Structure 1
Amino acid sequence: MIQFFKLPDRVFYCVSYIVFALPLVVFYAYCMPAFQVPDESSHFARAYQLTHGEFFPTKRQVPDKPGEYTVGGTVDPGIFTAAGHYIYLQGGNNVKVMSEKTALANSVKWQGGEARDTRNVAVYAPTFYAVPALGTMLGQYFDMSIVDSLKLSRLMSGLFGVLLFGMAMLILRKGFGIFFVLSLMPMTLAQVASASQDATCFAAAALCVALISTLSPEVPQRARRICLIFTVLLMITIASARPPYLALALFYLYFAYNFRTKTLFVVECCLSFFVVFMATILWSLYVSFYVSVPFGLEGANYAQQALLVLQSPLDWVGVLAESWRQRWDFYLYSFIGLVGHLDTGFPPVFYTFTIFTLCLAFFTSYLSETGGFFRSLYEQALAPCMIVIVALIGIFLVLYVSWSPVGYPIIEGVQGRYFIPVAFFLALGCANKALTGYSQVAYRCMILSFAMVTAIITPYVVLARYY
């Protein structure tokens, strides 16, 4: 047992993560009632479209309604029929699973496709739904019910996610504590074990951070360029999920500045940034012209909101501050763990413990050979933290423009889970120094205690809520 605590960081955290995460994603896949992840029915419908070769949604004008459009594709209506049998569980009313409703949902079989509007998921790239689509195909091939096919897709997404997170920890070079806690938070695992696009997005972000952490002029040129190509592809994938994530590409410039005396490395990093930037802009333009349709709360108006921000940026900053004042607890809880339809919370002490563990990981990870925490924070973490903050502000800005009603005092639509891919990038500012001796053992015990508490409390919370 003692020898296990002496393993290199990347091996120790990879093995520990797989041991704790694997049973939890299996639990979420099968014990979380069907369609109890935000918009899971629509995400599953989008995966179904891929099985019919419809990788990109179709935008059509509504007959006899000039200026109105529908966007979507072929969808089996049974998906929404089965999901309808679980609507009673939503809304935080603590209603338990009813056996008769479950039987009705389980009886719904695959029927065949028809054109449906799926505008709330149409903007996501097909790469996010490759694994759920495979589960959907297998479910149809083996004549499984729609609910069982969904659970199979969840399981496959969860296993794929754990595999990518495990690979990321083997590749990662620093920031292991932050990375481990973020990867094992209930919100992260609940989304990974679902048909949501977040499953792939979270795993892609983790793997991207791990690969970027290895970048250095000392790495052989061929290996470095291959690594950069993979990070660019992953960064484009992340940014296509939510355009504000494009700000994370600034980490290429951060690395270019850190190694500014290495001309070739600087050029490679700047070129990587340019490719990600252009690809994301092109994808956003494609979505805007060929996919996007008006979609938001009543009273939302893209043009009006954008004009308000441009005319009165300080007023918008006030709206942002008011949003945090009113909803900081929701952002925090839905970042750490507010599972189901954002209605299944964990005990307050668990949130406190998670924050404490994250702060400990952050503090320890930013200690360096050059000095204490504050000097290290200034020298290493200032730029990464600023990039992360810019990405977070971008999330609020986009949802203010696209989702919130004009004149509303706060920004609607923001959830803490949107911050998870961004938070992984904090690991890139950490010190390369690893703890040794008793301090390493004590630190690892603390991190593992978080994993143990999460593994114990998660089944209790979910089972107590739904069963």
Structure 2
Amino acid sequence: MKRTFAAIFCGLLVVSGLLIGGTTPPLLSPDEHAHLVRAYTLISGEWRMHTPAGRSTAAWVDPALAKYINVHRESNRVAVGRSPGPPPTTAELVAAGNTSLSESAKPISISAPGAAVYPPIAYLPQGLALFSARALHLPMATAYALARLVSLTTSAAVLFAAFLLVTPNPLQLALLTLPMSLFQLASAALDGFSTGLAMLAISLYQSLPEAQPRHRPIIHVCLVSSILIVVPARLHLWPLLILLFLSARKIKSVWAWFTSLACLSTVLNWVASVSRNTVDLRRAELSTDTVQTAIHSLSHPGELIALVLRTLTNHELQNFYFRSFIGVLGWLHLPLEPSKAYQMLGLMLAIFTVLTLNWISQRTWRMLLEQTRWLLVGMAMLSAMSVFLLLLVAWTPDPANALLIEGVQGRYFLVPALMVAMAVAPPQKQQQRLPSLVLSYVSGSVMLMVSTALTLRVL
């Protein structure tokens, strides 16, 4: 039964993504243009992006893709008030969409420093779509739509695999179907696929104790592969690396320890080398050496803690974090309507939390002392705190003298919240019973329908 419920729910996710994607203008997701540029490097072979003199780090892309990005990005900049205009004409937008990718065209350098650290392999769905579009000489509008579609269906497939391994609870499904989650899932950005991979990695680890001995090596290899992709793409999820060594400990094999160490060293080498060679000139006074700035911040823990506390206790930022966690769409310029939608969705999350925690009244409190539960809570806390450190060194001007950490958005806390939801989940034997399955997937479906309707209303 759990396979059927999971398949239906993931199918509904795809339907919701198609509806939202069909009404969302191109490149309206935050930094979506940078994600497309980085995805193209997967097929161009430029795994390490270059830095032209006097410019931010960039990548070589097909002229058709560069034109499509520039035209639609300018259209969106005018729409949100970041450019005086005039906006591109309808004829210019259509012309950009009708141009085709060509392997023989002379590439153009386009800046995308925000995506430079992300490994191209993390864009496998989008890269596959762009490769197919280039091979078939499809117009850019079709190539972009294909990138959205392949990313959406791949993300849903990864979530389906995670649900088969560990049955989700009502809170987990509710978090995955918030308007912000659905909006990002429907885009060509990295969020949907990376969230799915993070859930898959945790589910693989949780399924390890109950797996047959002959299946454990396969599970470990899948765990290593998932983490190797998702951690460099979402650096605040570095606590997932802990699962590698806990998995190796359970398997008790030399090769498992070797693959875990190899994965860790690969991630560290990639992040360190790419970070040092990335130049971001989008804002004044940004740190030119993020690694050194991070070391400096960590070596002054008192100042760092005080800065984080000032940021967390700022009432304006608290409200923004909550709203952007639930859903502020587009380039953070499309709040949900009516404004009470945020309170309603917050109440729904509270209800689903109670439904998820209902098992505690029926079970001994000893279940709460299981190590895996506290491991997930600890990983969630470390991941959430890492968001602030990463935005301090990468996006806050003059980080050594900053009064507040800038650039933090609520959507960055989705996976940490999912970790907590998985930590408080009922025991799997109870969760896989028919009443619990119905409760979880019906709850998720209700949130999915409400969030889809609210999202479509503002697009």
**1:201/1:421 contact within 8 Å kept:** no
Q: 2:407 aligns with which of 410, 413, 434?
A: 413
Provide the C-alpha distance between the structure 2 equivalents of 1:367 and 1:72, rounded to a whole number of angstroms.
55
**1:296/1:402 contact within 8 Å kept:** no
**1:49/1:75 contact within 8 Å kept:** no
- AA at the equivalent of 2:37: A
Provide the C-alpha distance between the structure 1 equivalents of 2:313 and 2:348, rounded to a whole number of angstroms.
21
Q: What secondary structure, in the 3-state scheme, does the structure 1 residue paired with 2:313 have?
A: helix
Shift of 1:356: 1.2
- AA at the equivalent of 1:339: L
Listed as ranges, the matches of 1:182-197 within 5 Å are 182-197=175-190
Provide the C-alpha distance between the structure 1 equivalents of 2:42 and 2:428, rounded to a whole number of angstroms.
45
Residues 204-261 of structure 1: CA distance to partner in whole angstroms, max 9, x if unpaired? 1122222222101x633331011101101101111111333221222345567xxx8x
Shift of 1:319: 1.4
* Alignment of 1:176 onto 2:169: yes
* Alignment of 1:149 onto 2:143: yes
Which sits farther off after the overlay, 324-333 or 198-207?
Answer: 324-333
Aligned to 2:286: 300
Shift of 1:32: 1.0
Residues 83-123 of structure 1: CA distance to partner in whole angstroms, max 9, x if unpaired? 32232333699xxxx9x955531321336432223222222
Q: 1:279 aligns with which of 266, 274, 294?
A: 266
Which sits farther off after the overlay, 355-364 or 411-420?
Answer: 355-364
* Alignment of 1:350 onto 2:338: no
Provide the C-alpha distance between the structure 1 equivalents of 2:436 and 2:51, rounded to a whole number of angstroms.
60
Q: What secondary structure, in the 3-state scheme, does the structure 2 residue paired with 1:58 have?
A: coil
Q: 1:227 aligns with which of 216, 219, 223?
A: 219
RMSD, aligned CA = 3.4
- Provide closer, same or farther for how the CA distance between residues 458 and 191 of structure 1 changes in structure 2, counting only shifts above 3 A: same
* Alignment of 1:322 onto 2:310: yes
* Alignment of 1:73 onto 2:60: yes
Provide the C-alpha distance between the structure 2 equivalents of 1:340 and 1:268, rounded to a whole number of angstroms.
45
Aligned to 1:54: 45
* Alignment of 1:104 onto 2:96: no
Provide the C-alpha distance between the structure 2 equivalents of 1:69 and 1:92, rounded to a whole number of angstroms.
19
- AA at the equivalent of 2:415: P
**What TM-score comes out, normalization by structure 2 length?**
0.82
Provide the C-alpha distance between the structure 2 equivalents of 1:306 and 1:107, rounded to a whole number of angstroms.
45
- Provide closer, same or farther for how the CA distance between residues 265 and 336 of structure 1 changes in structure 2, counting only shifts above 3 A: farther
Q: What secondary structure, in the 3-state scheme, does the structure 1 residue paired with 2:60 have?
A: strand
- AA at the equivalent of 2:127: A
Aligned to 1:82: 72
Shift of 1:447: 5.4
Q: What secondary structure, in the 3-state scheme, does the structure 2 residue paired with 1:129 have?
A: helix
Q: What secondary structure, in the 3-state scheme, does the structure 2 residue paired with 1:73 have?
A: strand
Provide the C-alpha distance between the structure 1 equivalents of 2:115 and 2:305, rounded to a whole number of angstroms.
29
Provide the C-alpha distance between the structure 1 equivalents of 2:362 and 2:259, rounded to a whole number of angstroms.
28
**What TM-score comes out, normalization by structure 1 length?**
0.81
Shift of 1:397: 1.0
**2:28/2:330 contact within 8 Å kept:** yes
**1:70/1:117 contact within 8 Å kept:** yes
Provide the C-alpha distance between the structure 2 equivalents of 1:365 and 1:328, rounded to a whole number of angstroms.
31
* Alignment of 1:249 onto 2:238: no
- Provide closer, same or farther for how the CA distance between residues 92 and 379 of structure 1 changes in structure 2, counting only shifts above 3 A: farther
Provide the C-alpha distance between the structure 2 equivalents of 1:404 and 1:227, rounded to a whole number of angstroms.
39
**1:29/1:154 contact within 8 Å kept:** yes
Aligned to 2:427: 432
**2:174/2:443 contact within 8 Å kept:** no
Q: 1:236 aligns with which of 222, 228, 244?
A: 228
Q: What secondary structure, in the 3-state scheme, does the structure 2 residue paired with 1:249 have?
A: helix
Residues 172-202 of structure 1: CA distance to partner in whole angstroms, max 9, x if unpaired? 2x55334322332222222222221223211
Provide the C-alpha distance between the structure 2 equivalents of 1:247 and 1:294, rounded to a whole number of angstroms.
26
Aligned to 2:123: 129
- AA at the equivalent of 1:149: A
Q: What secondary structure, in the 3-state scheme, does the structure 1 residue paired with 2:279 have?
A: coil
Q: What secondary structure, in the 3-state scheme, does the structure 2 residue paired with 1:116 have?
A: strand
Provide the C-alpha distance between the structure 1 equivalents of 2:148 and 2:369, rounded to a whole number of angstroms.
42
**1:169/1:176 contact within 8 Å kept:** no
Q: Percent identity?
A: 20
**1:400/1:412 contact within 8 Å kept:** yes
- AA at the equivalent of 1:225: P
**1:236/1:280 contact within 8 Å kept:** yes
Provide the C-alpha distance between the structure 1 equivalents of 2:451 and 2:21, rounded to a whole number of angstroms.
17
Query: How many residues get paired?
Result: 435
- Mind listing any 5+ residue stretches in structure 2 that lack a counterpart? none
Shift of 1:401: 1.8
**2:179/2:451 contact within 8 Å kept:** no
Provide the C-alpha distance between the structure 2 equivalents of 1:178 and 1:12, rounded to a whole number of angstroms.
20
- Mind listing any 5+ residue stretches in structure 1 that lack a counterpart? 1-6
